[in-house]
Amino acid sequence: MTASAASATPAVRARITAAFTDAGTVGQLYAVDVDSGASVGVGADTEQSTASVHKIALIAALYREASLGRVDVTRRVEIPTSGRSPGPTGLAVMRDAAALSLRDLASLAVAVSDNTAADVLWDALGLDTVNRTMAELGLTRTVAVQNMRELYATMAEDAGGGAAALADPGAVARLRVLDPSRTNRSTPRETASLLAAIWRDEVCEGERAAEYGAELRALLGLQAWSHRLASGFPFDDVRVSGKTGSLPTLRHEAGVVEYPDGGRYAVAVFTRAASTAVTLPPADAAIGRAARIAVDALRV
């Protein structure tokens, strides 16, 4: 059976859907062979609130701008202790002033999903630049409308009552950040297509395109979390580069899976759980399980 035929079978799509359902989630997925274009999709064109997965678009824009000579990724930025974006990792929880280059801020934004680091980049580039980059790449449904600081501010305003309120289904239902028409958004197809373009060296341009493209891919391999997408590929010789995204009831990840035989597969998985629990291991594991089913189908 060819990869294209395998990807089209209802049985593959049914197994992916079952992986989501068994974990108490509703999920959407798009997986594409970076080189052949063969693909697997379940709800691939459904718009989703991207949460921190949108940091992929952010850093792609950073490196594209750098390759065109419009941004110096080595430029250092002062980060005072005041005004930092909320978040559980990175600069958000550090107590002293810092100064970091734009590319080191990008590393933090990916490796530990540092919201403060991401917002320094948002401020340096501007939402319009990131959206223009996506449009230039043909990804017209990948749109940023707010930085992480603004995202968390709307969430606090909508929920009321602090973090404890986010366990209340009624409060969660009020969150604008869960409505893709009112927050940063994309589709599984466009998110995976962006990653495929990065791996095919189609994002960076100019004389230093290869250098910046390689640095961008290396940066996306820094993520510390392995409990979602990477959990479906527990092999020492398979490399998984990715970026998670999380909001109340939402657990996402998008990344590229690279096999030692040269196979490369870009995968985007978006899920929403019925439960408002912060810790929900079956939902995390379902992302890896669904991705593995899709990639196995593409490798037949």
CATH number for position 291: 3.40.710.10
CA separation for the pair 272, 50 (Å, rounded): 11
The pLDDT assigned to 8 comes to 58
**pTM, to two decimals:** 0.96
- Give me the number of domains the chain comprises: 1
* Model confidence band, residue 3 (pLDDT cutoffs 50, 70, 90): very low
Q: How far apart are CA 245 and CA 161, in angstroms?
A: 23
* Cross-strand pairs, 269: 29, 253
With a CB cutoff of 8 Å and minimum separation 6, the contacts of 223 are 110, 111, 113, 241, 242, 243, 244, 255
Residue-wise pLDDT for 158-182, tens only, equals: 998 777 788 899 999 999 999 999 9
- Is the separation of the CB atoms in 293 and 13 below 8 Å? no
Residue range of the domain that includes 188 = 3-299
Q: CA–CA separation, 64 vs 150, rounded Å? A: 25
What are the tens digits of pLDDT across the range 90-114? 999 999 999 999 999 999 999 999 9
